[in-house]
Amino acid sequence: MAQQPVLKNRRTLLERAEKFISDVYFTDCNLRGRLYGDSCPLESLTSFSCSKRISFQEASKQNFTPHNLGDTFGPTWWTCWFKVTLQIPESWRGKEVHLLWECDGEAMVWRDEQPVQGLTKEGEKTSYILSDCLKDEDPHSLTLYIEVACNGLFGAGQGSMIAAPDPNRRFSLQKAELVVFNRDVQELLTDFEMLIDIVKELGKEDQRGYQALFTVNEMVNLCNPSDHSSFSKARSLAHKFFNQRNGESQHTAHAMGHCHIDTAWLWPYEETIRKCGRSWVTAIRLMEKNPDFIFTCSQAQQFQWVKNWYPQLYSQIQHYVKKGQFIPVGGSWVEMDGNLPSGESMVRQFLEGQHFFNREFEIICKEFWLPDTFGYSAQLPQIMLGCGISNFLTQKLNWNLVNTFPHNTFLWEGLDGSEVLTHFPPGDSYAMNGKIEDVSVIFPTHSMNAQFVARIFALLTKLTLALVCFFPQLVKTVKNNKDKGRTNHSAVLFGFGDGGGGPTQLMLDRLCRVRDTDGLPKVQASSPEKFFSQLRAESALLCTWTGELFLELHQGTYTTQAQIKQGNRQCEILLHDIEIASSLALCRDKTFQYPVEKLRELWRLLLLNQFHDVIPGSCIEMVVEDALNYYEEIRSGGAALLQDAFSVLGSKGKSAGVLNSLPWERHEVIQTPDVAGLPGLALVRVPSLGLSPVKDTQPVTLVLVTVEADGTVLMENGIIQTVINKNGTLASLYLIGANREAISDCGHGNQFIMFDDIPLYWDAWDTMDYHLQTRKPVLEVVQPVCVSSSSGLRGVVSFTLRISDKSTITQEIVMDAACPYLKFNTEVNWFESHKFLKVEFPVRVRSASATYEIQFGHLQRPTHRNTSWDWAKYEVWGHKWADLSEHNFGVALLNDCKYGYSVYKNTMTLSLLRAPKAPDANADMGTHRFTYALMPHAGSFQDAAVIQSAYNLNFPLRLVRCNPDIIPWSAFSISSPAVILETVKQAENRKGALVVRLYESHGSSVSATVCTTLPVKEAWLCDLLERHDGAQPVRIASEGISLNFKPFQIVTLLLIM
């Protein structure tokens, strides 16, 4: 009798197929229940626990005691080592044999004293293959060691993923046994999964979806789970479906294995080392079985860790790099934050990363790989190109809260006009899992609010997505592509990410099914080079995005963990000064040993802390402690290096001298010991990039401090005059030469403001726009303004405010002789919860845009909220200064360690402190000391030397012991104030040569002459990796080295001494 047709009841047929492979329903009679055959207990299972992460050699010598399934171990961050003795039954000959291991923690299998496999229940890796097909000659008796980290793939959050870790969490081993793995069942399950996903994703209106539905239904009819001989007929139906080919015009998805591992986040740095080991050894095992499998891997720091901790694994990685399967990408030391590091720090990220990859693997990365950072500076394109990188891959702007970014593939034009080819994978992820939806998405159909809610939960559910099939994510790649018609290629990055894990064999099997299947995009294993080459070949119609890539989310990261941000700024400045002092010492004394290795060590610590979850402050308390300890290492090690250089520069004298590390003359008040060794003040004049003895000069105008009858205090220095209210706010800040008042008549300057700061989910990351509606001025005065010092060179008034019963602010307002800005030395005792502290300056300036310093330049952002794009910038980032100017007058807000700003209409706001409770429950609690300054100016901020003043606030004049008869000298000076000499260092791998880096800071085309007193024989232009073109020397004339600059151009010189 002929088979009866069925109704087109899509729901029942689809659910029938789903139940047939379910791991919950009908497992006694469905296909999933036949995945494993016979099982066998272990011969023995023993364990020992320790609080430290120790080597295999040390662990194997410990005393192991019997362990039973279900026994708990821990607590969080400990390590439990298991010793597993097993005997494979002789009767399993010809079978595929696995060790099944299901455990709460992340595990590494060690065999023959080497790591061989990562095991993580959260990441589709719960078995270790002992034999693909057991033979007589195969070992049947084995002893394995399994190292289990007492944390999950995403740390150990208490109650939610991003909550502070539970320090007392216990872990357990639920399953440990030998099993026969039925590979034919797994292959058929994969066929079912892919077809079911196709049905779901293509929907009710798609003919191809119905073909998949009836195919999978017929496969259920043909397949008897108890009879393996029935599988071939079912598989042939699937094979027929998958092998119906596409046309030539179909979109191509370039599949690249990837394993995004946060260098620190919800786990400490040290655990990341093991995450790399577990993830990368698993990738190597996949390469052994899948010669077409390509795995991309970023962050030179992680390679260095693996080289140190797992040398044999590293040798295998080197082998597969040569084969073109294990591909280092990115070119940077870590995947750094894209906003907060200085320009020079960004250069050093690439310098260290590219040199490492070139030295270890003989490659220079051509693509910058930064998928998970919270925005991207407008200077990155120029920095990338200068470091040999012409392509950029990220996806984070797809997280935008307000506006949908209009492109997936485009040309990104930076601040100076440099362009890089940029791609955002349309699947909106750097951790796809081989699902159909990954390759099918191109135009979003949900509202932005719904999209944002989905993004919040996307990360939380990322792990479970991997358990489903690959089709949905493939469909995303096509549907979400916003550049249809302009390009027909997209990247698909697959593999568990953030906490590591990486690709699995199941993901590869899923991809293999749909390489060229009618109705789906074509899928090909690809490399970044191949993918970007294809994009570039089709780039004629691509659009251009000019300026920064601003992420409309995570704007709290400009402020969270203030001590980390302060440590970053201070250590950047310290390393800058060490390099300059050491370079000058080298030129004055050829026997001086430039501290190459120590400087590299300190730079790498700084670069490590610029990882995109550390410097933003979105990490657990353990990471914060590590980061602050690293800053202390830099400070202590750097202080010793400075003293070494100073001993040469000062000729080991005993008189006081001053080193100026900036490329202009400085005339400033400094604190210096008097003849009795007590602190005193001196107004000194120090030449550019040079040294001078301390010789007190007299100011044109002394600082006058007057207490008025109403309790206000007036201070003036001939340049500015200020009136300070009894509560510490500014009633007036007057620019004397311009006859202009800076403070608005509708408010007071230096007004501290508190806001409620409760985001939707991402606590340390986000400050939402609605926090602005909770504005509360800090009004309670504990100690009103009083004069602390009035010496003629410096006037100081101080006061104390109470924020709450837990927190206070104490501030010194400082006016120095000959100084164009008013300083605010601030101490905050901060013990709040979900509050945000800012300081406001309403000013008498009207402008539609404000200017903010960024790396090697500045940019404008709106001061209004005309459009949703303007509104989304309610909190923005900047570096040492922000400026609000109208024609011929403006006000600049300077700082020494802050990065969050807001300028709305005429109110300039600096963000000071936040108080989130996750993932660090104690974030920012404690005492903070920082300085900001207000500078009114005539003319443009460029002509008024705002840029130089911000440098002066940040870079101290450093005291040096020198001979009393030393003559002031300058090593470098620049003829144009538009050009900043940013860096002087010894050239990489070349003694007797210096690298000098300059940039145009005004946004102008300009010619400038670099004058030097150093014995320069040759000068060459070079790129940011210090590679010079031997055919293009720079002419050295008697007046110096003449250079032409375009707006915001970075120029690097190689000087041969």
Catalytic residue annotation = 372
CB contact burial 928-962 (16+ within 10 A = b; e otherwise): bebbbbbbbbeebbbebbbbbbbbbbbbbbbbbbb
Any bridge partners for residue 423, and if so which? Answer: 393, 409
Tokens representing residue 506 in the block: 């199941």
Do β-strands 295-298 and 252-258 pair in parallel, antiparallel, or remain unpaired? parallel
CB 384 within 8 A of CB 415: no
Phi/psi at 1021 (5° precision) = -75, 140
Long-range contacts of 205-211 (CB under 8 A, 24+ apart): 206/519, 208/518, 208/519, 210/8, 210/10, 211/241
At residue 959's C-alpha, the angle toward residues 957 and 963, to 5°, is 130
Question: CA-CA distance, 891 to 910, in Å (whole number)?
Answer: 13
3-state secondary structure (DSSP) of residue 932 = strand
Can the peptide bond before residue 759 be classed as cis, meaning omega within 30 degrees of 0?
no
Which ranges in 429-561 belong to alpha helices (H)? 448-460, 462-465, 474-479, 505-513, 528-537
Question: CA-CA distance, 230 to 222, in Å (whole number)?
Answer: 7
Q: Which residues contact 557 (CB under 8 A, 6 or more apart)?
A: 337, 374, 616, 617, 618, 764, 765
Question: CA-CA distance, 884 to 846, in Å (whole number)?
Answer: 8
Q: Residue 222 to residues 79, 235, 384, 467: CA-CA distances in angstroms?
A: 48, 10, 57, 25
CB 175 within 8 A of CB 101: yes
Smallest Cα–Cα separation from 547: which of 389, 376, 431?
376
CB 995 within 8 A of CB 347: no
- Its sign, for the CA torsion 1040, 1046, 1050, 1052, is negative
Question: CA-CA distance, 832 to 756, in Å (whole number)?
Answer: 10
Smallest Cα–Cα separation from 357: which of 394, 389, 390?
389
CB 411 within 8 A of CB 428: no
Can the peptide bond before residue 89 be classed as cis, meaning omega within 30 degrees of 0?
no
Smallest Cα–Cα separation from 125: which of 284, 285, 282, 323?
282
Total residues found in the chain within this entry? 1057
DSSP letters for 89-116? -GGGTTSEEEEEEEESSEEEEEETTEEE
Question: CA-CA distance, 825 to 97, in Å (whole number)?
Answer: 68
Smallest Cα–Cα separation from 128: which of 148, 154, 108?
108
